[in-house]
Amino acid sequence: MRTTPNSSRGTSGQPGGLPAHALSGIVGLLLFAFLTVSYAQRAVPSGEEVYVDRLGCWNCHGTTGQGAGGGVVLTKTPLALRKFVSYVRLPSKEMPPFAPIMASDAELAIVYRWLDGSEAVKAPPAITVDLKSSAAARTGGQASAEVSVELIARVAETALPSDVPVAASLGYRVTLTSDAGAPLANHAVEYQRAGRNDWSKFTTDEHGEALLGADRGVVLAKAGQTDKARARLRTALPAGKTALVVETLDYTAPANLVVVGIGSAILRVE
């Protein structure tokens, strides 16, 4: 065991008053404390902090995701990140839903990575995808109603410049899941890229997913320039809730797409 003698702290030998260099030392210490605090606020929390302290997932899934009291195991979940996020937003059974205001997409990505999910995910994602949907659409007696969504991608505050691929090699993947947990397969969706007036059409596959590809142009918003970066999606949905997840993918190596951004929203039709 090591002990530090008090005399080594150099408190002796200051004759009377508070000398100028001591004062500047105190100011320096305060400044240091301030910088440390503001740095800590921007630092990325650990998966354990988010899972245990912030979101309380441990109450039902155990402190390490091992499944508490016969509950569901989350460790090494076979779900892809987009399905994991879809489930947390719109659970189909007993679990209470977590809205983005309670658990951000970045926080869910951090938790997913900490749980050692099956998909290799960099967390937090380098790109934030903000999705804003129109107010609950009404079917008015029809089978479905059109819902439109605004989509803005921007570099996350926590991202290092080296984590952000050039915009030209970024593309979107759209995933739609029903409130029963089923993929919205073969579902038609329209897309309007940022700064354009024309719409293009695509259809989801059997997993409720569609790749929009790098050529569909992801525009990253700069501060104060969100208008120019606003893309749009629209689709006809049946009554009920639908989970929408939009990821930004790095197409630099097309055979090995990397998820670099994620955003989610619940779309409502009455």
Question: Which residue, 95 or 185, has its beta carbon nearer to ligand HEC?
Answer: 95
Candidate list 47, 81, 82, 88; residue touching ligand HEC; CB under 6 A: 88
Alpha-carbon Rg for the chain, nearest whole angstrom, is 24
The region of 23-31, 68-76, 128-136, 250-258 touching ligand HEC under the rule CB under 6 A is 68-76
Read off the tokens for 133.
């949907």
Strand partners, 93: none
- Total residues in contact with ligand HEC, by rule CB under 6 A: 22
The three-point CA angle 15-17-23 to 5° equals 105
Contact 82, 90 (CB under 8 A): no
With a CB cutoff of 8 Å and minimum separation 6, the contacts of 199 are 190, 191, 192, 234
Decide: is 254 part of the binding site for ligand HEC (CB under 6 A): no
Element (H, E) at 28: helix 20-42
Q: How far is the CB of 166 from ligand HEC (least distance, A)?
A: 32
Do 87 and 79 meet the contact criterion of CB atoms below 8 Å apart? Answer: yes
Considering only residues 109 through 148, tell me which ones interact with ligand HEC, judged by CB under 6 A.
111
Q: Which is nearer to ligand HEC, 81 or 233 (CB)?
A: 81
Length of the chain: 270
Is the link from the previous residue into 124 a cis peptide, with omega within 30 of 0?
Answer: yes
DSSP element (H, E) containing 151: strand 145-155
Among 103, 129, 153, 259, binds ligand HEC (CB under 6 A): 103
Stretch that binds ligand HEC, among 13-21, 85-93, 195-203, 217-225 (CB under 6 A): 85-93
- Interaction with ligand HEC in 38-67: which residues (CB under 6 A)? 55-57, 59-61
CB of 240 to ligand HEC, least distance (A): 17
Binding site for ligand HEC (CB under 6 A): 55-57, 59-61, 71-72, 74, 77, 79, 84, 87-88, 91, 93-96, 98, 103, 111
